[in-house]
Amino acid sequence: MAADGGFSLVEVLAAVVLFVAISASTITVLLMALKTVRENNDRVLVANVARSQIEELRVLGPDQIVPGLTYDKPAGTPDDFVVETSAQWVGAGQAASACDAASPGQAYLRIRVAASSPDLGAPAVADTIIAPEANVSDEGTAAIAINVEDHNGEPVSGVTVTAVDSTSPENSFTYLTGSDGCLYIPGLTPDRALAITVSKDGYVSNSESGDTTTSNLDAGSLAKPSLLLAPASGIDFISEKSDYPLPVGTPISWRVNETGALVNSGQTGVAVVGQWPNPSGFAAWAGCADADPGDLVQTFDFTAGGSTVAGVSAGRVELSGLPPGVDVIASPTGVCSDQGTLTVRSDVDGIVRLSLPYGLWSFSASVEREIVDGEGETVTETLSEDVTLSEPLDPAQADSTPVEFTLADQLEPPPSEFPEPSSSESPGPSLSPKASP
């Protein structure tokens, strides 16, 4: 008799696998195609938005256009679209920024509009110039070109520039720097002084007063103040050896790599924030300022707009002979004896591995145990132990320094004065059968 026809299990499984593979490939291609279509639609839309913004500005005219950078959108623009408009007065034939030109003019207003959406990698950019209806005369007036750069000398756009003239309020203004990091304001009342302040979220100046300046306005002259702002940098201090961590609260000293720089104080577990990202970097060491290891000090780079994880070198110590979960207090006894104590806790094996600033240290721990006194009552007894290093922790030491406690041994129950009874049973008496008479 012939066997029943049909597919074997292996054939069915192979067909299923092939179907899944083809389906996955097809879905991937479809998703990529949909993404391309969506990006093309957005690209056309942002280009239309940029052109619409240009047309609206032409209708306003130069007198109504806000100088510097603005974020206004044409009506009907999607909420997730970003429109940046940069407007700057320039003279005839002037190609450079007003902050770079020797004598910037007011022949026309140079406009650049950049429109972008979340799905596009690069914005759509539209450039144009808008000329005033009549020649603008700057005779008898003053002008100012405020330039803002970062730590690398690059222009910073979107900086809020606030200028205050207490004598002539008409000179006061608040605008944003354009894409070239410049803000050019002509037509100001002369013989005055402007108090200027710059700011931008997440940015810091290179000094406490670096975000402010004062500029004198003279008739027929151009004031060109320049200020520095850069994305703020932070520092997180940790141990160079991750298996020997620095306790939380360990004092850290650091300074910028500049001649005459002051030594700053920090500590592990507390981030240093709001720092100027000095290109020369900074040096850091564990301990107080007097613990400076000299030529062995480590240097690090600032991270503009981020945080630098600075792993500083320190002496490695291994504490042993402790009960589990016992707090140990580490106290400096050398040059940094006034920097306070540090507290660490033993692990399940009664061991603590940690790093400490170089120098002399002492360690103390205590534990409580219950004992039976002479009257047969249970009382609590506190056992304490202090251990002091005989030699200071030294940068040249390659291995960790052992510190041995005896608290764990002291908690062991004392040996009994009487021998333990044997666990084997003694044979009991046996009865012998009586002999027959």
Tokens representing residue 305 in the block: 């707009």
**pLDDT for residue 119 is more than 50:** yes
Res 437: pLDDT:
39
User: 83 or 432: which carries more pLDDT confidence?
Assistant: 83
For residues 342-369, average pLDDT? 93
Tokens representing residue 1 in the block: 């008799």
Q: Using pLDDT thresholds of 50, 70 and 90, give the confidence band for residue 434.
A: very low
Residue 359 neighbours by CB under 8 Å, 6+ apart: 287, 291, 315, 332, 333, 334, 335, 336, 392, 393
Which residue shows structure tokens 């850069």? 230
> Of 93-107, 147-161, 283-297, 405-419, where does mean pLDDT reach its minimum?
405-419
**pLDDT for residue 259 is more than 90:** no
Residue type (1 letter), 383: L
Res 34: pLDDT:
67
Res 375: pLDDT:
65
> Of 31-40, 215-224, 388-397, where does mean pLDDT reach its minimum?
31-40
Q: Kindly provide the b/e burial profile for residues 188-202, where b requires at least 16 CB atoms within 10 angstroms of the residue's own CB.
A: bbbebbbebebebee
**pLDDT for residue 285 is more than 80:** yes
Tokens representing residue 235 in the block: 């520092």
For residues 244-265, average pLDDT? 93
Contact assessment for residue 141 and residue 168, using Cβ atoms and an 8 Å cutoff = no
For residues 275-290, average pLDDT? 94
Starting from the edge strand earliest in sequence, which strands make up the sheet with 298-300, in order?
264-267, 251-256, 282-286, 298-300
Res 436: pLDDT:
42
**pLDDT for residue 429 is more than 50:** no
User: 346 or 294: which carries more pLDDT confidence?
Assistant: 346
Taking the C-alpha atoms of residue 127 and residue 95, their distance in angstroms, rounded to an integer, is 13
User: 367 or 232: which carries more pLDDT confidence?
Assistant: 232
In this predicted model, what pLDDT tens digit does every residue of 85-105 receive, in sequence order?
Answer: 999 988 877 878 888 887 887
Tokens representing residue 398 in the block: 């390659």
Q: Using pLDDT thresholds of 50, 70 and 90, give the confidence band for residue 426.
A: very low
Domains of the chain: 46-229 (2.60.40.10), 231-312 (2.60.40), 315-410 (2.60.40)
Taking the C-alpha atoms of residue 385 and residue 364, their distance in angstroms, rounded to an integer, is 6
Q: Using pLDDT thresholds of 50, 70 and 90, give the confidence band for residue 137.
A: low
**pLDDT for residue 383 is more than 90:** no
Res 11: pLDDT:
75
DSSP string, 22-69: HHHHHHHHHHHHHHHHHHHHHHHHHHHHHHHHHHHHHHH-GGGSPSEE
* Average confidence score pLDDT of the chain: 86
> Of 136-145, 288-297, 380-389, 410-419, where does mean pLDDT reach its minimum?
410-419
384: helix, strand or coil? strand
In this predicted model, what pLDDT tens digit does every residue of 299-338 receive, in sequence order?
Answer: 999 999 999 999 999 999 999 999 999 999 999 998 888 8
> Of 28-37, 132-141, 423-432, where does mean pLDDT reach its minimum?
423-432
Contact assessment for residue 113 and residue 47, using Cβ atoms and an 8 Å cutoff = no
Predicted TM-score (pTM) of the model is 0.76
E strand or H helix that includes residue 408: helix 407-410
User: 239 or 6: which carries more pLDDT confidence?
Assistant: 239
Res 157: pLDDT:
95
Q: Using pLDDT thresholds of 50, 70 and 90, give the confidence band for residue 217.
A: very high
Q: Using pLDDT thresholds of 50, 70 and 90, give the confidence band for residue 430.
A: very low
E strand or H helix that includes residue 212: strand 212-217
For residues 230-241, average pLDDT? 96
**pLDDT for residue 77 is more than 70:** yes
Res 14: pLDDT:
81
User: 384 or 237: which carries more pLDDT confidence?
Assistant: 237
Using a pLDDT cut of 70, give the percent of the chain over it.
87
In this predicted model, what pLDDT tens digit does every residue of 3-40 receive, in sequence order?
Answer: 556 667 777 788 888 888 888 878 877 777 666 666 66
